[in-house]
Structure 1
Amino acid sequence: MHALSLQPARPKVLLVSFDGFRWDYIYRVPTPSFHYAMKNGVHVRQVTNVFITKTYPNHYTLVTGLYAESHGIVANEMYDPVLNESFSLNKMNTHNSKFWEEACPIWVTNQREGHKSGAAMWPGTDVKIHGVLPTHYMPYNESVPFEDRVAKLIEWFTSEEPINFGLLYWEQPDEMGHLLGPENPLMGATIKDIDRKLGYLISELKKAKLWDVINVIVTSDHGMSQSSSERLIELDQYVSRELYEVIEHTPTVAILPKEGKLEEVYEALANAHPNMTVYKKEQIPDRFHYKHNRKIQPILAVADKGWEIVHNKTDGFLFGNHGYDNTVPEMHPIFLAVGPAFRKNATKQFMNATDLYPLLCHLLGINPLPNNGSLNAVKDILVEGVPGARGADSYSTIKCIKQRMPSSAN
């Protein structure tokens, strides 16, 4: 027996996101790797993500435990009226740390408690947040193959000064879901490819002797819904585009009216189309947790599932989209967890995406910052008696920053 094996192993966690992987894709085509993980771990059938159901808001929720209004990444496209600056996923203009610093992501806390983190393309991990970057990270580059991302993570987990927490991101099946639409039979090939990638990750972790000691969580940011050229809502039919600017695009549209034009724009759109609900900021339903932030624009238009909001038909549209109400089942992501901390061949019916953050903190033995999740809500997926360094829902008094709960508007 190696002397090293007598030492208690530090808990290791790998968080994996397959962007746009809808909860039910695993039933579409044979997905042996996903089902192997389910048999050896826990499968949560319904994960309710946060509104708006877009990439950046939900990836930041997963690592902060906060609703979008509280962590401040309220959309993929944002305008901050105080900074007079914009943030854009489409233009890859996302590195302004001021947009990220209303919250403190878990890798910052992990490192401030003396551990090391490694990130392979996870949104926000190549941004210096509160002056901190992950110990190891890959600057975002979509062309880097999945296999290279996995190799880097395994290198970091097995180095002389190993990381205890890794984050892995892959752009599919989101991109093909947009191009084809989730109901297109051609999506089967993409889903099978993701399954092969998960299988590759598992086999590489086994080769590196990590599989039996690491807790792996496989999830996503959102699902996908089918769109159609028959379901387009054209803003130009109802209001002059001279009167407003669109900040975040379909199917949840953030509208910034020109000065003095708020009432005119709102009145023109409020009852314009039966499949579009339009809110003034203060009218946005409380259940969305989406009004107490200055980057949320004065008017929000939300399309019904399967509908798109465009200026007019020349804008074009995507055959699949997301961003709808977070209670819509098609928006819900996958969630699997496998490793020594998790029960085997277990199923849980429901959790909130916000619950992942306190779970991660528990697994890593670090203090959670105030958040909108609950470890108590998900502790039933853990093996009983797994040591947790912290009480179930206690919060750290060590301040990373003012990570705030959504109680006051700003």
Structure 2
Amino acid sequence: MLLPVALLCLALTAPALGVPVAVERPQKPRQKLLLVSFDGFRWDYDRDVDTPHLDAMAKDGVKAQYVTPPYLTITSPSHFTLLTGLYIENHGVIHNMWFNTTSMEKKAYYPTQFQNDWWDNGSLPIWITAQRQGLKAGSLHFPGTAASYQGEVAMVREVEPRFYNYGNETYWQRNIDTVMGWFGDQDLDFVSLYFGEPDGVGHKFGPDTPQRRAMVRQVDRAVGYMRAAAERRGLSGHLNVVITADHGMSALFRASEIKQIVLSKIPGFSFKDLSFHLVDYGPSGMLLPKPGMLDKVYGALKGAHPHLHVYKREEMPARMRFSNNGRILPIVLWADAGYLINGYLPVQTNKGEHGFDNHNMDMKPFFRAVGPAFRRNLEVGPFETVNIYPLMCHILGIRPEVNDGHLNATKHMLVSASEDKPGGMSTVKMAFTGLAAVVGLLAVVFIVRVSVHVHKRRNEDRVSNSSTHSDGFDEETAKSTSF
């Protein structure tokens, strides 16, 4: 009798113990993630343009006030920070250009994309990490896509041709359709997608122009097309989309308005004292003095122009995290916003530029996120883009590589800030479940003990009654047989 009672009690308390008795719940689809970069989209570009699709995305998801990129605020280094969660000095992709200080060679942005040793120097992008942990990953046009890492590449990838029109809206839609096909037909878990605008128009025309505003409207249309494409593919219920950028853009002063920075005109400085240099590429530069000439070059440049900052590599401000890497040349230069660093003569024609101090507000990109992992209609404060990597790993449920980011900087954006992973059980739910389990277990113990006690008492009564009847029979028998 005891065993059936105990089993009945256990069955009755099973829901409290969290044990499914009969019906198993269907498993939710694995969450996917799309990382999108619109190159050069400054944090405030949606303020002077009507952007209904970006606004809808913010209402349906999360919008940050702005995000802070790493220094140096240029394309390849900043994008590799998104992919690795490392500051530039730690991942080693320190410039858009591959260079060799011995042979004096330099490669422009596009051929540098295929220079494996420039990208593959100890850090793994999220594509490789995800694939090593059983997921499927892809990348379309994202900086770093063309390279291999420890012999591995993104399993599905597309690299743009050399002379590519980054502003063609038809191409944008084709690329979006391609990526949604990868998620739907090939069941990819993670994809990174890159658009080269509004960086191009920001450089050519400047950030405060009708051309830039027109490109922001095109970006907004692309966001609407992207969300509609996900809906058509049936992906919306398990696809998370993170949209950000590598840097912002700052308007340049006209030469007639300022004293230009021209290194060759600085007294005491000579290019003959250098073995190698990277200047004439915007507001930042690096110099390699000849042996024994470091202090001479540094002394000539330091304080030579009120808007030129000059540092020995090891003396760079710690907040910029741009010193602890052998690829960084011994002298680092950068200009204040609006200024350019020129070598022999002013040769740059851009009306907008980036590469300035990452604390400059013009260098801050935007950030949007939407999907089942994210809360709705939430605006958050600023954070560093280095923190986007651990957020992505968390959503994908993969172990991140060693990185400089912190999940705590972004975790409040998620549906449950206390989840171990999306779709998991929150701390509150686990507490209630644990409490129910304890109560259920105590109930089982109590009922079993009561059952044992009752069973024992019944046995004692039965034995007692049996003894009474037995003694009475013997006495009566004795009486009847005695004469």
State the alpha-carbon separation in 1 of the partners of residues 358 and 40 from structure 2.
Answer: 14
Any unmatched runs of 5+ in structure 1?
392-410
Return the match for 1:234 from 233, 253, 262.
Answer: 262
Any unmatched runs of 5+ in structure 2?
1-24, 425-483
For 1:237, give the aligned amino acid.
K
Q: Counterpart of 1:222?
A: 247
Q: Counterpart of 2:340?
A: 308
Q: Do the aligned partners of 1:80 and 1:295 also contact (CA within 8 Å) in 2?
A: no
Return the match for 1:176 from 191, 198, 201.
Answer: 201
Return the match for 2:421 from 388, 391, 394.
Answer: 388
State the alpha-carbon separation in 2 of the partners of residues 166 and 226 from structure 1.
Answer: 33
Q: How many residues are treated as equivalent by the alignment?
A: 385
Q: Which has the higher strand share?
A: 1
For 2:273, give the aligned amino acid.
L
State the alpha-carbon separation in 2 of the partners of residues 87 and 165 from structure 1.
Answer: 33
Equivalent residues in 2 for 1:5-404 (5 A)? 6-79=26-99, 88-90=107-109, 92-100=111-119, 101-141=121-161, 142-143=164-165, 145-159=171-185, 161-230=186-255, 231=258, 232-238=260-266, 239-244=269-274, 245-247=276-278, 249-384=281-416, 388=421
State the alpha-carbon separation in 2 of the partners of residues 389 and 243 from structure 1.
Answer: 57
Q: How far 1:78 sits from its partner (Å)?
A: 4.2
2:407 partner SS? coil
State the alpha-carbon separation in 1 of the partners of residues 241 and 207 from structure 2.
Answer: 26
The 10-residue stretch of structure 1 (215-224 or 243-252) with the greater mean CA deviation from structure 2? 243-252
State the alpha-carbon separation in 2 of the partners of residues 313 and 229 from structure 1.
Answer: 15
Q: How far 1:76 sits from its partner (Å)?
A: 1.2
State the alpha-carbon separation in 2 of the partners of residues 80 and 361 from structure 1.
Answer: 34
State the alpha-carbon separation in 2 of the partners of residues 211 and 320 from structure 1.
Answer: 37
1:26 partner SS? coil
Q: Counterpart of 2:470?
A: none
The 10-residue stretch of structure 1 (323-332 or 223-232) with the greater mean CA deviation from structure 2? 223-232
Q: Which has the higher helix share?
A: 2
Q: Compared with structure 1, are the counterparts of its residues 359 and 176 closer, same or farther at alpha carbon in structure 2 (3 Å cutoff)?
A: same
The 10-residue stretch of structure 1 (245-254 or 279-288) with the greater mean CA deviation from structure 2? 245-254
Q: How far 1:106 sits from its partner (Å)?
A: 0.6
Q: Do the aligned partners of 1:366 and 1:389 also contact (CA within 8 Å) in 2?
A: no
Q: How far 1:114 sits from its partner (Å)?
A: 1.1
State the alpha-carbon separation in 2 of the partners of residues 87 and 203 from structure 1.
Answer: 42
The 10-residue stretch of structure 1 (208-217 or 104-113) with the greater mean CA deviation from structure 2? 208-217
Q: Do the aligned partners of 1:229 and 1:317 also contact (CA within 8 Å) in 2?
A: no
Q: Compared with structure 1, are the counterparts of its residues 355 and 84 closer, same or farther at alpha carbon in structure 2 (3 Å cutoff)?
A: farther
What do the CA deviations read for 1:244-280 (whole angstroms, capped 9, x no partner)? 2322532111112233322222122111100001011
1:6 partner SS? coil
Q: How far 1:376 sits from its partner (Å)?
A: 1.1
Query: What is the TM-score with the length of structure 1 in the denominator?
Result: 0.89
2:391 partner SS? helix
2:299 partner SS? helix
Q: Do the aligned partners of 1:76 and 1:87 also contact (CA within 8 Å) in 2?
A: no
2:139 partner SS? strand
Query: What is the TM-score with the length of structure 2 in the denominator?
Result: 0.76
- Computed over aligned residues only, the root mean square deviation of the Cα atoms, in angstroms, reads 2.1
For 1:235, give the aligned amino acid.
L
Q: How far 1:165 sits from its partner (Å)?
A: 0.2
For 1:216, give the aligned amino acid.
V
Q: Compared with structure 1, are the counterparts of its residues 185 and 293 closer, same or farther at alpha carbon in structure 2 (3 Å cutoff)?
A: same
Q: Do the aligned partners of 1:255 and 1:300 also contact (CA within 8 Å) in 2?
A: yes
Q: How far 1:129 sits from its partner (Å)?
A: 1.2
Q: Compared with structure 1, are the counterparts of its residues 42 and 389 closer, same or farther at alpha carbon in structure 2 (3 Å cutoff)?
A: closer
Q: How far 1:99 sits from its partner (Å)?
A: 1.7
Q: Do the aligned partners of 2:137 and 2:190 also contact (CA within 8 Å) in 1?
A: yes
Q: Compared with structure 1, are the counterparts of its residues 189 and 389 closer, same or farther at alpha carbon in structure 2 (3 Å cutoff)?
A: closer
Q: Do the aligned partners of 1:88 and 1:94 also contact (CA within 8 Å) in 2?
A: no
For 1:204, give the aligned amino acid.
A
State the alpha-carbon separation in 2 of the partners of residues 91 and 356 from structure 1.
Answer: 25
The 10-residue stretch of structure 1 (134-143 or 65-74) with the greater mean CA deviation from structure 2? 134-143
Q: Do the aligned partners of 1:77 and 1:247 also contact (CA within 8 Å) in 2?
A: no
State the alpha-carbon separation in 1 of the partners of residues 78 and 141 from structure 2.
Answer: 15
